[in-house]
A = this chain, B = another copy of it.
């Protein structure tokens, strides 16, 4: 196990009715709040009215900014920053899914940065001052409600880039699984694939002696899969949503990544799918993950045998460990299929003619400074093309 430095300050307030406390919680923290959200869904669910009521009851001044959308865009972030300056906002409340939260985090970093906010993502600039953010989560998936990550898309150049900065961890996040009851089935499935990938990206490692975190990763993955099927079949299942919802938070709060090398090849590849065809992040991950596994497992056979046994529950003898692992990869694909996720790149509108360019973008070879993806096997652009071919 490697040395590590871990902290996660985010206060998680979880369960039925907790959204009503948002004004009370913000009152001591904020003079004027930017209330940032997506569009009509929080109005339909009544959450919008509850937030407004709670802010007003607690005398918390606010200004609204709607319009956050999947794969959040730079122009909205720029207008948010302008609005924050114009209105003397000192706190950002993001109400929505990962995209709304990431959009808020980008504003939080951009507001005190002298250049354009996109530079922070493009050049991985570690800003040292941010505006505090809090969230009410309506889609469990990205884990952004306690993570230090945000991801922004730039339509001008077809790029999607992430940035990790501990200062962007929300001060608090309210998670009431009742707000997940009305999610469309495809969004449920995409979210599940995303949170599982957040664990896979940490779980697959060549760092030795990582029993403790391995076991926690395995257990959280099993619980998410078990309960994902329940909420997919019955989106009103509050108790199953509790497991999936908080599972998604734990998946990405960094505890499950301490002391170990991490992977992140699938995320790196998937960002190019989203940038190319506005593919939902989770849908892209569900297609790429089994293909990535097939491409890399032979070089990391013991790790994948452990995955097969402890995560996917493959049973039986190990005289043929490769068959054991392939059985697990099939089981994972079957799970994704069970919750309605696409199985191939073709299914999500990504075609072979674009493989080389996407692979070169993902590995930065396109920009002349190739930086191989991944951890357990370093992937150059040619490797990424091979994985795309397995997934096509």
Contact = CB atoms under 8 A, between A and B. Distances in A.
A258 to B, nearest CB: 7
A14 B4 contact: yes
A18 B6 CA distance: 13
A165 interface: no
Interface residues of A, number: 42
Contacts of A12: 4-7, 258
Given A8-B8, A219-B218, A239-B1, A14 B259 contact: yes
Contact of A227 (B17, B211, B250): B211
A212 B216 contact: no
Number of copies: 2
A15 interface: yes
A242 B5 contact: no
Contacts of A220: 212, 215-216
Interface in A18-62: 18
A367 interface: no
A15 B215 contact: no
A16 interface: yes
A216 B222 CA distance: 11
Interface in A151-202: 172
A129 interface: no
A34 to B, nearest CB: 23
A259 B16 CA distance: 12
A13 interface: yes
B9 A243 contact: no
A247 interface: yes
Interface in A247-290: 247, 250, 255, 258-259
Contacts of A215: 219-220, 222-223
Given A16-B3, A215-B220, A259 B242 contact: yes
Q: Closest 5 interchain pairs by CB?
A: A3-B15, A215-B219, A7-B11, A209-B239, A1-B242
Given A1-B242, A4-B12, 18 more contacts: A3-B13, A3-B16, A3-B18, A4-B13, A5-B13, A5-B14, A6-B11, A7-B10, A8-B8, A209-B239, A209-B243, A212-B223, A212-B227, A212-B243, A212-B246, A215-B220, A216-B219, A216-B220
28 contacts: A1-B243, A2-B15, A3-B15, A3-B16, A3-B18, A4-B13, A5-B14, A6-B11, A6-B14, A7-B9, A7-B11, A8-B8, A9-B9, A12-B258, A14-B258, A211-B226, A211-B227, A212-B220, A212-B242, A212-B246, A215-B219, A215-B220, A215-B222, A216-B220, A219-B219, A242-B259, A246-B258, A250-B255
